[in-house]
A and B are shown apart, each in its own frame.
Chain A
Amino acid sequence: EDKVVQSPLSLVVHEGDTVTLNCSYEVTNFRSLLWYKQEKKAPTFLFMLTSSGIEKKSGRLSSILDKKELFSILNITATQTGDSAVYLCAVLYNTDKLIFGTGTRLQVFP
């Protein structure tokens, strides 16, 4: 059965800390891996990773994919309270259908 597993489930840090969120997957017909940030309702797109070993960066966020070991990490450096959210990892299979993990809830305190 296809599955996406995220860890940790929850993380509490102080502003300025660096965090690493993990995502492993077992999905047939893998096409890409995506990261989303969900603060209240609609998940907002962060990254899409298709090739192994190529880091994607956006400000303090970065992510990389390892297709051999079937995992991805999302790094957030110098965390801010505005980074508090649930971070969802999802694998795109077939055309544009996604399998999501359960998410990592990040809380950043001042």
Chain B
Amino acid sequence: ETGVTQSPTHLIKTRGQQVTLRCSSQSGHNTVSWYQQALGQGPQFIFQYYREEENGRGNFPPRFSGLQFPNYSSELNVNALELDDSALYLCASSLGGVKVGGELFFGEGSRLTVL
């Protein structure tokens, strides 16, 4: 148990739809990162939020957007879903990163299937 919770755990959407995934970070953590893990691949960095502001973004199109709330929970939104968006979406929380050397605590993930 890492104290990071994600919802929903599984969901199925069709192409063109929109999806919102949610993440509650571990208590006291102010940084949330989102990763996409396609089948048979390692996780890929989508973006990170630190104290409600985006703090870095990976190579993902603008239809991937996010939000962090004052309680440091976070949402990942994906618009105009494509088949290739099918993946496990992992949320990871940390406390500002540098001080603790970057140990991230991962949630169990949300598995998205796009038909």
Contacts and interface: CB of A to CB of B under 8 A. Distances in A.
Interface in B58-111: 88, 90, 94, 96-98, 101-109, 111
A1 to B, nearest CB: 10
B18 interface: no
B108 A96 contact: no
B43 A95 contact: no
Given A42-B106, A42-B108, A96 B31 contact: yes
A98 B37 CA distance: 13
Q: 4 closest pairs, A vs B, by CB? A: A96-B97, A100-B42, A95-B97, A92-B102
Given A42-B109, A96-B33, A98-B33, 4 more contacts: A41-B109, A42-B108, A95-B96, A102-B42
Contacts of A45: 103-105
Nearest to A31: B102
- Interface size class for chain B? 20 to 34
Interface in A63-99: 88, 90, 92, 94-99
Interface string A25-67: 0000001101000000111110010100000000000000000
B44 A100 contact: yes
B30 to A, nearest CB: 11
A57 B19 CA distance: 42
Nearest to B105: A45
B42 A96 contact: no
Interface in B20-69: 31, 33, 35, 40-45, 48, 50, 55-56
A102 B102 contact: no
B2 interface: yes
B98 A96 contact: yes
Contacts of A102: 40-42
A97 B90 contact: no
A95 B45 contact: no
Contact of A101 (B42, B90, B101, B106): B42
